[in-house]
Amino acid sequence: MRVCFLEDTMLHGGTQIWVTEAALKFMEMGVDVTILSPESGFVAKTLAESGARIVTYGYDAVVDQSDAQKAIWRGAFEDSDVVVCTVHPPRGDGFHCSVFAGAVIKEAGLNTVLIPKTGTIVPDYLREYYCPVEGIRNRVIAITNFTLEYLVSDYQIPESVADLVYQGTEVARFTPDPARKADARERYPVPEGAGPILGNVGSFEERKGQGVLLDAVAACRDRLPGIHLILVGDGPDEAMLKERVESMGLQDCVTFFPFTREPVYVFEAIDILVLSSLYKEGLPNVLLEAMSMHLPVVSSRMAGVPEVVFDGETGYMVEPGDFQQLADGIVRCWTDQDQYARMAANARKLMEDKFDKKVQFGAFVEYFDRVLADYESA
C-alpha cells in the first residue's frame, strides 16, 4: 500500500506530531509513505531522514494553483493509492488544500483515493473541504463520533462516504515513570510546596482560551492557595498572556515554558491537565496523552471531548469561556483525593482499552485496505 500524507500548514501542533508518528509507524508496517508538505514545514523537516519520500512546495507559491504547482502535487499523488489530507482552515486568499488536491487528482485522471481527515468542526467551513469534486474516489475520516454525526447531518455527506477512526495515543510511551518524574521536576520547576500543579499544553492563541484559564486560576487562589499553572507552548498571544499574568499579579503561580516535542515530561510534572479551549477543537492529542499518564482532566465541553472526559469519572467538563465553572471544576478535581485517584485510574484504563495508538494505527491501515478493496470491486 502507498499512502501520501498531505499537511498544508506551517504549524507544529498535535496534528502534525500525529502525522509524523503515523508515517513512521506505517513504514514499520510495510506501507510506502509519501509526505506532501510546505518547504520548511514541521512534518517535512521532522521526517527528512526517516526514509519516507518527501515532496515539498512553496507555501505561498501554491495558492496560484499554477501548472508548476499542480505538477508537484500530481507527482506525489501518482505514486500513492491514498492521500490523507488534514482539513485545515482555508487560507486568507481562499485556497484550500483538499479542494486543490481534488482538482489535481481529477485533472490527471488518477484513481488515487482522497481522504480528508478532520476532528474539528467550524460552522463556516465549506462542504467542498471534505468532498471537493465529483468524479474522483473520495472518503472522509472523522476522528470523533461528534464530528462524524455533524458531517452527515449538517454537511449532508453520505454515511457511505464518512467513517469514524479514532487516532489514539501511545499508551506505552505515555506511562508514568518515577525516574523520569525527577527529570521532569527539573525541566518544569515550580515553587516548593506548590499544588495542585495545573498544565496547559498548546498554541497560545485566542481559541485555546488561556486568558480564561488565567481568570480561573485567580478565582481558585483562596480555595487552593498552593495552586500553580504551567503554560507550555508558543504562539501569537504569548506576549499578551505574559502581560496579563503581570497585570493580574499571578507571577508567583503561573510559569511559561517553550513548545516541546516531549510533552511526557510536562505530564510527569503536573497534577491536572486543563483544556480551556473556546472553539475549534476535535479530540486533542494532548488530552489522550495526559489521560494515559493517569491524569484527570478539566476541560471545555466541546466536539469529541465528551467521548473521553466523563464527569466525576475521568475528570470534569465545563462550558467554554466560563472561568468560574473552570475554577470550580479544578477545585472539585483536587479537593477529594480519593475521587482524584479513581479518576486518574479510570483515565488510564480508558486509554488502554479504546485509544491505544498501537491498535489505532493498524485500524487506519485496515480502513485504507477496505476502502481500496471497495473501489476495486465496484
Q: Which of 214, 224, 286, 276 is nearest to 251 (CA)?
A: 214
357-377 and 14-28 are packed helices; what angle lies between their axes, rounded to 10 degrees? Answer: 70
C-alpha cell at 48: 527528512
What is the reported pLDDT for 359? 86
CATH code that applies to domain 178-354: 3.40.50.2000
Give residue 285's Cα distance to chain centre: 4
- Cα torsion 205, 88, 233, 174 to 10°: value is 140
State how far the Cα of 52 lies from the Cα of 22, in Å rounded to an integer.
Answer: 11
- Asked whether 293 and 262 are in contact (CB, 8 A), the reply is no
State how far the Cα of 119 lies from the Cα of 125, in Å rounded to an integer.
Answer: 13
The pTM assigned to this predicted structure is 0.78
The CATH class that applies to domain 2-168+357-377 reads alpha beta
State how far the Cα of 330 lies from the Cα of 317, in Å rounded to an integer.
Answer: 10
What is the reported pLDDT for 253? 97
State how far the Cα of 161 lies from the Cα of 165, in Å rounded to an integer.
Answer: 13
Written as one string, the DSSP assignment of 30-51 is T-EEEEEEETT-HHHHHTTTSS
State how far the Cα of 132 lies from the Cα of 67, in Å rounded to an integer.
Answer: 19
R_g over Cα of the chain: 21
What is the reported pLDDT for 304? 87
State how far the Cα of 348 lies from the Cα of 317, in Å rounded to an integer.
Answer: 18
- Measured at the alpha carbon of residue 89, what is the angle toward residues 275 and 137, in degrees to the nearest 5? 115
| Strand residues in the chain grouped as ranges (E) | 2-6, 32-38, 53-57, 82-86, 113-118, 137-138, 140-142, 162-164, 197-201, 228-232, 254-257, 272-275, 297-300, 315-318
Task: Give, in order, the Cα–Cα distances in Å from 251 to each of 14, 55, 230, 245, 258.
Answer: 28, 45, 11, 6, 17
What is the reported pLDDT for 345? 98
> CB under 8 Å to 142, separation ≥6 — which residues?
118, 119, 148, 151, 162, 163, 164, 165
pLDDT digit string (tens) for the chain, length 378 residues: 999 999 999 988 778 988 999 999 999 999 999 999 999 999 999 999 999 999 999 999 999 999 999 999 999 999 999 999 999 888 878 899 999 999 999 999 999 999 999 987 776 788 999 999 999 999 999 999 999 999 999 899 999 999 999 988 889 999 999 999 999 999 999 999 999 999 999 999 999 999 999 999 999 999 999 999 999 999 999 999 999 999 999 999 999 999 998 999 999 999 999 999 998 787 888 999 999 999 999 999 988 899 999 999 999 999 999 999 999 999 999 999 999 999 999 999 999 998 998 888 999 999 999 999 999 997
Antiparallel, parallel or unpaired: β 32-38 and 137-138: unpaired
Q: Which of 277, 257, 207 is nearest to 236 (CA)?
A: 207
Identical topology for domains 2-168+357-377 and 178-354: yes
Beta bridge partners of 82: 3, 113
What is the reported pLDDT for 85? 96
- Domains of the chain, by residue range, sit at 2-168+357-377, 178-354
State how far the Cα of 144 lies from the Cα of 166, in Å rounded to an integer.
Answer: 6
What is the reported pLDDT for 11? 84
